Amino acid sequence: MTKTRERRLPESVQSLCRSAARLRDQVKGRTISFSPKVFLPLTRLCRDRCGYCAFRQDPNDATPNYMTPEQVLAVVRRGEELGCREALFVLGDRPEQSYPGARLWLRQHGYDSTIEYLHDMCSLVLEETRLFPHSNPGILTRRELASLKQVNASMGLMLESTSRRLSEPGGPHHRNPTKDPQLRLRVLRDAGELKIPFTTGLLVGIGETGRERIDSLHQLRRLQSRYGHLQEFIIQNFVPKPGTPMEAAPGASGREMMETISHARLILGGSANLQAPPNLSGRNLRYLDYLDAGINDWGGISPLTIDFVNPEAPWPRIAALARQTESRGFRLKARFPVYPEYFQGPSSFLPSTLHSRLRSEADPDGYFPAGSLRTHPPVSTGEAAGAH
């Protein structure tokens, strides 16, 4: 742990971090991975109104409802040229339930639901490009999960927190039924029964307590122990956004992040894939310090598209990230949206066609072959990724 960090953190937290990092090194070694991706905001309409979200937009004449297939392919093909292999689809939760305009757009294009449209866009990416879809579509039924499994290398849903207090009046999840912890745990359980490689995690600093974070981690550990499908755990710090109800909230502190990451490593175990977003760090929260707390992954990073959920937070440049990671004694390697252990051997987690494609593209360790990724700096793709 760096001297700067040692001066800032109490000895109890330093000791916790050392234990977590030691466990990571023993099981995962000194390789830190990341997924080169393009970010596709398929629709920013959403039936929820979370107190901290800046991704969600209300419909208006200047903001059409959905990305078209042509726009999806335009962005994905530009990412393909740079060597990206993840097409990250992020979208609001069932906007057609709240907005007549969304229902009309879907009906005009031959769809009954946003999830049906997402399925076809994932299929289009697989048919037309070398990228693999990873979808974060919100709350899904078991049937929808089974359908999307056929066209996704992996999927995701953040648990955020098991705290029911956050749904009380004045809380960030008040009047947002899809943020019910039991509902989210049900989706994670269904994904486990369907053997879908799944990403989940916690959002730190939205009003939950340290004890509630520990409870959330134990709930995730129980699911992973039973099904083994939780391929990645994200510990994400809440960053207040201007114009949202929680714009004056303090956000997660460096100590809270280091403690939560370390607890996650120790509770979830040495084999867990644990990441924290590097683009959300700030003056008092340096992402390289996350290495001291036990992470083994930086998550998805784009050499092309912005982070539409956190548009104020640029991704680190991949070449610089590699140098900085290596300066701490680690090796940075690019991965696919599904982790190597889910496709290297015989797999019940992936459809046979996706399994075969991944194995044919990966090196012997399940990562990108050397030299297959270009490290261009990020550029704005607001026009290319805008919805129509």
Residue type present at position 243: G
Q: Walk me through the domains of the chain, giving residue ranges and CATH numbers.
A: 3-361 (3.20.20.70)
pLDDT per residue, tens digit, the chain (388 aa), is 544 444 579 999 999 999 999 999 999 999 999 999 999 999 998 888 888 888 888 887 656 689 999 999 999 999 999 999 999 999 989 999 988 989 999 999 999 999 999 999 999 999 999 999 999 999 999 999 999 999 999 999 999 999 999 989 988 899 888 999 999 999 999 999 999 999 999 999 999 999 999 999 999 999 999 999 999 999 999 999 998 899 999 989 999 999 999 999 999 999 999 999 999 987 667 899 999 999 999 999 999 999 999 999 999 999 999 999 999 999 999 999 999 999 998 778 999 999 999 999 999 999 998 766 765 444 444 433 444 3
Please give the structure tokens belonging to residue 37.
């991706």
Q: Reduced to 3 states, what is the DSSP secondary structure of residue 347? A: coil
In DSSP terms, which residues pair with 35 in a beta bridge? Answer: 300
pTM over 0.85: yes
What per-residue confidence (pLDDT) applies to 216?
98
Give the number of other Cβ atoms within 10 Å of residue 205's Cβ: 22
**pLDDT for 385:** 42
**Helices 142-149 and 114-128: crossing angle, nearest 10°?**
10
In 3D, which of 220, 147, 235 has the Cα closest to residue 189?
220
Separation between Cα atoms, residue 310 and residue 241, nearest integer Å: 8
* Pairwise CA distance, residues 305 & 291, whole Å: 25
Closest residue by Cα to residue 293 from 13, 29, 34? 13
Q: Which tokens in the block code for residue 148?
A: 């999307």
* The pLDDT value given to residue 230: 98
Can you give the pLDDT at residue 375?
55
Q: Exposed, middle or buried by CB within 10 Å (0-12, 13-18, 19+), for 295? A: buried
Contact 79, 302 (CB under 8 A): yes
Neighbours of 128 (CB within 10 A): 14
Q: Which residues pair with 202 in a beta bridge?
A: 160, 235
Q: How far apart are CA 122 and CA 131, in angstroms?
A: 10
| 282, 206, 202, 314: CA torsion to nearest 10 | -30
Rounded distance, CA 59 to CA 52, Å?
Answer: 19
pLDDT at 383: 39
CA dihedral (56, 61, 62, 63) in degrees, to 10, reads 30
Predicted pLDDT of residue 177: 86
- Residue 137 in tokens: 């579509």
**Distance between CA atoms of residues 381 and 387, nearest Å:** 12
